[in-house]
Amino acid sequence: MDQGSPAKAARARRQQAARGGPHQPAGQQPRVQEQPTPQKRRQTVPTPLAKLIRAEERLRQREVKTERNKREAKARRSEEQEGRPPAAPPVTPQLKRRRQTQRWTSQEVAELQRLVAMHGEGQWALVLKQGRAVFAAGRTSVDIKDKWRNLNTPPRQREGDAGPSQKRGRVAIPWDSWEVEELRRQVELHGGSNWLLVQDQGRGVFRDRRTAVDLKDKWRLLQRKAARAERELQAAAPRA
């Protein structure tokens, strides 16, 4: 027997072990090991209860994460504010109350007229000081000035009254009797809607500053006066 055969056989076994398989005799087909068939994992369909439990678990985890983020943000803000002066409280705007007006009495008006005649207009602080015993508590120099201006401002007069009056920012000119007659005649000829034509036809009789709007307003005023007079006559007439 060859002495080198055991050594060769041992070396062949080591090589076969290094290659990962058992030693096979020469000329023999390697035996294939049967691999175990993997069993298929059975898939389970989640039930509605399981879905609800998972949803509650996810919601609880989200709440825990949100609470942790809030605590961390609060801790960061407190660390940033350390060493800083405390912030001033917000200023709440106070609404200004409207001062109640006090009616002027006849004694106050008489005292105001007396003091203005004594010291003259413009000395409102002196007038207030001299008449403090008569004026109501809370009167100011501005109140004294406004009251004096109201006392010396004539009231507005309606159009058609005697004397000029302020209307629509300009002086209202009184109507003469011949203007009223011409207005009635022109309205009978051209109607009560075409005021530009009425103004043009009566230009020689109406004053130069009369406008179509003035003619229309005067005609409406005449109509109201006529209607009121007719109602008064009907009310005064004896009943049958």
Please state the domain count of the chain.
2
Please report the pLDDT score of residue 141 as a whole number: 87
Please report the pLDDT score of residue 163 as a whole number: 47
Structural domain includes residue 8: no
Closest alpha carbon to 102 in 156, 146, 36: 146
CB 218 within 8 A of CB 175: yes
CB 121 within 8 A of CB 110: no
DSSP output for 147-205: HHHHHTSPPP--TTSSS-EEETTEEEPPPPHHHHHHHHHHHHHH-SS-HHHHHHHTTTT
Domain hosting residue 136, numbered range = 106-151
Cβ density class 226-235: b for 16+ within 10 Å, e for less = eeeeeeeeee
Does residue 73 have a pLDDT over 80?
yes
Same domain, 143 and 179: no
Q: What is the DSSP letter of 237?
A: S
Same domain, 171 and 138: no
Query: pTM for this one?
Result: 0.31
Structural domain includes residue 119: yes
Structural domain includes residue 17: no
Please report the pLDDT score of residue 160 as a whole number: 46
Q: Which residue would you say has higher pLDDT here, 230 or 46?
A: 230
- The label of the residue with tokens 């049958």 reads 240
pLDDT (average), residues 101-120: 87
pLDDT in tens, 135-192: 888 888 888 888 888 887 765 544 444 444 444 455 677 888 888 888 888 888 888 8
Of 97, 124, 151, which marks where a domain is finished?
151
Please report the pLDDT score of residue 211 as a whole number: 84
Same domain, 172 and 218: yes
Does residue 105 have a pLDDT over 50?
yes
Q: What is the DSSP letter of 211?
A: -
Does residue 31 have a pLDDT over 70?
no
The CATH number for 118's domain is 1.10.10
The CATH number for 210's domain is 1.10.10.60
Helix axes 212-236, 177-190, angle to 10 degrees: 90
